[in-house]
Chains A and B, each alone.
Chain A
Amino acid sequence: MFRRGDKVEIFKKSEDEGWQDYMDEFVGFHGIVTDPDSNINDPDALIEVSLVDKGTHRIPQDCLRKLEE
């Protein structure tokens, strides 16, 4: 489960329909979870991630992994 403020990496492309073509270049980028699913902790929800130099996007959770602090 991702929490607000978690540092994450996009480690792969997602197969989810919420993944857009332009997101392919995000793979390998790091960022911070800025708005997780704030209602029901749904692992299927698109969550808001702010990526270094790439802006803030709603991304499927299956392509994200937490970075150790």
Chain B
Amino acid sequence: MSAGKCPVNSTIYRLKDMIEMNRLVDPYCRRIAEEILELIDDIAWGRAGEDHIPTIDSLSRELSEKGADDSCKETGEFVQTALQENMEVFVSHVKTHNCNTGECILLAPAPCQTACPAGIDVPSYVTLIGMGRDAEAIDVIRRDNPFPWVCGLVCTRPCEFMCVRARIDTPISIKFLKAFAAEKAMSDGQYRNPEKEPDKDKKVAVIGAGPAGMSAAYYLALKGYTVKIFEALPVAGGMMMVGIPRYRLPREVIDREAAMLEDLGVEFVFNTRFGKDITIEQLKEEGFEAFLFAIGAHKPYKLNIPGENDYPQVIDSIDILRNVALGERHSPGKKVVVIGGGNVAIDAARTCTRLGCEEVTIAYRRTHSEMPADEEEVEQAEEEGIKMSFLTVPVEIVGQDGKVTGLHCLRAEMITKAGSDRKFPVPVENSDFTIDADAVISAIGQQVDSEGFDTLTGLTWTRRNTIDVNRACMETSIQGVFAAGDAVLGPATIVEAIGGGKKAAQAIDRYLSGIPQPKLPPVPVRRGRLDFMEVPASTKMSLKRPEMPLLNFNRRRVTFQQVELGYSENAVREEARRCLRCDVCRRCGACVDVCRDRMEINALKLGYLDFDHPVQTDFRETADRCIACGACAENCPNGAMIIEDVGDERVLSICGTILNRLKLEYCEVCGTALGPAKYHDYITRRLKGIAKTTEGRSICVECARKMAAHQHNEEIIPIR
């Protein structure tokens, strides 16, 4: 767990210590201190209401000001200081039911939720999907991310990298579950906006209708602000619309989710570029009081090689992707070379194939294993017939009569330079060759286009040519001006842009409400604690992450139809059952420790508990040795491990995964349920030679006592 210290938890420990060490001798002071302790305990366990903090404040003030002796005053002052210095954290515990250090265990978010830049409560929505409650799952997601459908198709899924299930076999297919639920909810007419807060009569201008800008607009609209988005392009979506090809993200998906913003009253103004068509002064005159710049990173880097500016057939990947997204369907040429090895290069190459180019080659200066593009994307590109030319350094674009005829290149070799552990591609002398081409597409990255921002005096930029912000609140160097998305991070991911937009919306709300900005970025908020789904251990282990069905190969090469066809409903429900519910099991290992060290049974093979050194996990093996004593459940601090009698069985489960079922034995005298036979054997074995037992008879404590009394001095040790 976290090495960070939670001030709420630390205050509890210190105060408890003061009380238990009898430092508070005055009975009245002691009672007040106990009341304070109880109230802080409520905060740590998510039970606190709005009155808790003011009450703690007033009680501790009473102690410090009117305490009978020094110890009372010292205690009151200690609580006062803890509260004042950490007010934000205390309030966050009460309001968000969240403890990001993980020390207040009931309130700690799961690793997948913590990993999500938008902070979505993944375990809750995966559980809801497993239960078939797709629309509710979408409601949960949209509390932190207004684009569940988009992210279900194209998110880079950091959540899956942190998924604890991956320590056992493969991560939960979180992304595709989300896509399924969004599509189902939309199809069922259940995809809905939450209630808006009352109108605040304040206007916010958002520049850029990409994921960051639209996310901010969504949350600001929900807060009751009047929001207008100004967009340079003729459509909403930003890079989602013009940077990601339709075979990965259909336009309808973006349109439908953007339309949800319009339903909330967000107004879009298209074909309007900041610095050219509008200025901040004009917007201020129109009554806008806060501004968010979410302009993306749409300006391509130049190749800086001869011939780049000499031929119209030398195109930038951003341009071709944008033009195709906006309806262009003309092929750039028959033989196309795409320069670059990232996701944009792959997208451009696969787009060219779909436009009818006969031969598409990706020229990359490093090796296959060093390609920064996603492996799945590279694999799909190769399946579609795209050629790869590795260790290829472009040196000149050559042509004749104003038309490109080829890309002149040098072979490279990877060399480690002195003082560096990185390998660099170094051109090999006299290794010239030419790739025949009638079009060359550059895909070597993009940056923020700062043109038009010179009018925004006082705005500072980083050396990476991004807008400089305090990333805890996305505030720029100008008061009331915020920025988010690629404009701040450089080319990054959609989900980061969404998270940044949400963070900016919270900060804008604070700014317009006169509340100081936080020093730390907001922590994810848990949206509930759902019931477990019961799954037998064997099923939990044998369920496999489903393969994604793909569009047939021929259709992929000639159309822009969605390549990933989506999971079947059955596959989705089954996949959700693989979730380990890390929102409840905190992986503290208390169950394993007590079973192995105290009970000396060692039945729990839960190797996934450790991040750095996971070892083998097998839920099925528990049943081999477990005696259903319940020590693990008794020591579980968060209700993950449960032991209960169901019918004639004693059942042990962890977050719904049934680890063991043992038949109960009953008192042969009164019929009361006793433990299972394995448990009796264990107790008998442990007591052998120490005390007299019931000698094989099944008798409850009550009956054993009665028999003992009846037999006068004869000692009978009950089984339980």
Residues of A within 8 A of B282 (CB): none
Residues of A within 8 A of B342 (CB): 38-40
Residues of A within 8 A of B657 (CB): none
Residue from B114, B340, B372, B423 within 8 A of A37 (CB atoms): B372
Check B445 for interface membership: any CB of A closer than 8 A: yes
Given A39-B445, A45-B490, A48-B492, does the pair A53, B370 have CB atoms closer than 8 Å? no
Residue from A4, A5, A35, A67 within 8 A of B492 (CB atoms): A35
Given A50-B161, A53-B100, A53-B114, does the pair A43, B422 have CB atoms closer than 8 Å? yes
Residue from A30, A36, A39, A53 within 8 A of B102 (CB atoms): A53
The residue on B at minimum CB distance from A66 is B421
- The CA of A29 and the CA of B373, in the complex, are separated in Å by 27
Residues of A within 8 A of B343 (CB): 38-39
A53 touches B101 (CB 8 A): yes
Main secondary structure of the interface of B (DSSP, over half): loop
Residues of B within 8 A of A45 (CB): 490
B611 touches A52 (CB 8 A): yes
- The CA of A36 and the CA of B156, in the complex, are separated in Å by 11
B445 touches A53 (CB 8 A): no
A34 touches B612 (CB 8 A): no
Interface string of A21-54 (1 = CB under 8 A from B): 1100100111010111111111111101010111
B158 touches A20 (CB 8 A): no
Q: Which of chain B's residues 578-630 have a Cβ closer than 8 Å to chain A?
A: 611-612
Q: Which of chain B's residues 1-29 have a Cβ closer than 8 Å to chain A?
A: 1-4
B489 touches A53 (CB 8 A): no
Measured CB to CB, the closest approach of chain B to A62, in angstroms, equals 12
Check B506 for interface membership: any CB of A closer than 8 A: no
Residues of A within 8 A of B4 (CB): 25, 53-54
By the criterion of a CB under 8 Å from any partner CB, how many residues of chain A are at the interface?
A: 36
A-B contact count, CB below 8 Å?
120
- The CA of A58 and the CA of B115, in the complex, are separated in Å by 12
The residue on B at minimum CB distance from A22 is B520
Check B185 for interface membership: any CB of A closer than 8 A: no
A36 touches B496 (CB 8 A): no
Check B172 for interface membership: any CB of A closer than 8 A: no
A58 touches B444 (CB 8 A): no
The residue on B at minimum CB distance from A20 is B471
B3 touches A56 (CB 8 A): no
Check B266 for interface membership: any CB of A closer than 8 A: no
Given A4-B374, A41-B366, does the pair A54, B472 have CB atoms closer than 8 Å? no
A20 touches B162 (CB 8 A): no
Check B519 for interface membership: any CB of A closer than 8 A: yes
A40 touches B422 (CB 8 A): no
- The CA of A21 and the CA of B372, in the complex, are separated in Å by 29
Given A50-B161, A53-B2, A53-B100, does the pair A36, B372 have CB atoms closer than 8 Å? yes
- The CA of A43 and the CA of B372, in the complex, are separated in Å by 12
Check B686 for interface membership: any CB of A closer than 8 A: no
Residues of B within 8 A of A53 (CB): 1-2, 4, 100-102, 108, 111, 114
Check B542 for interface membership: any CB of A closer than 8 A: no
- The CA of A60 and the CA of B344, in the complex, are separated in Å by 22
Given A38-B342, A55-B524, does the pair A22, B519 have CB atoms closer than 8 Å? yes
Residues of A within 8 A of B491 (CB): 38-39
Check B462 for interface membership: any CB of A closer than 8 A: yes
The residue on B at minimum CB distance from A47 is B492
Residue from B370, B372, B462 within 8 A of A38 (CB atoms): B372
27 pairs of residues in contact across A and B, judged by CB atoms under 8 Å: A17-B468, A22-B471, A25-B4, A29-B3, A30-B611, A30-B612, A34-B161, A35-B493, A36-B372, A38-B491, A39-B443, A39-B491, A40-B372, A42-B445, A44-B464, A46-B490, A48-B117, A48-B156, A50-B115, A50-B161, A52-B111, A53-B111, A54-B4, A55-B115, A55-B119, A56-B158, A58-B492
Other than A32-B162, A53-B100, give 10 A-B pairs with Cβ distance below 8 A.
A22-B521, A35-B158, A35-B492, A38-B342, A39-B343, A40-B372, A46-B464, A50-B161, A52-B2, A53-B108
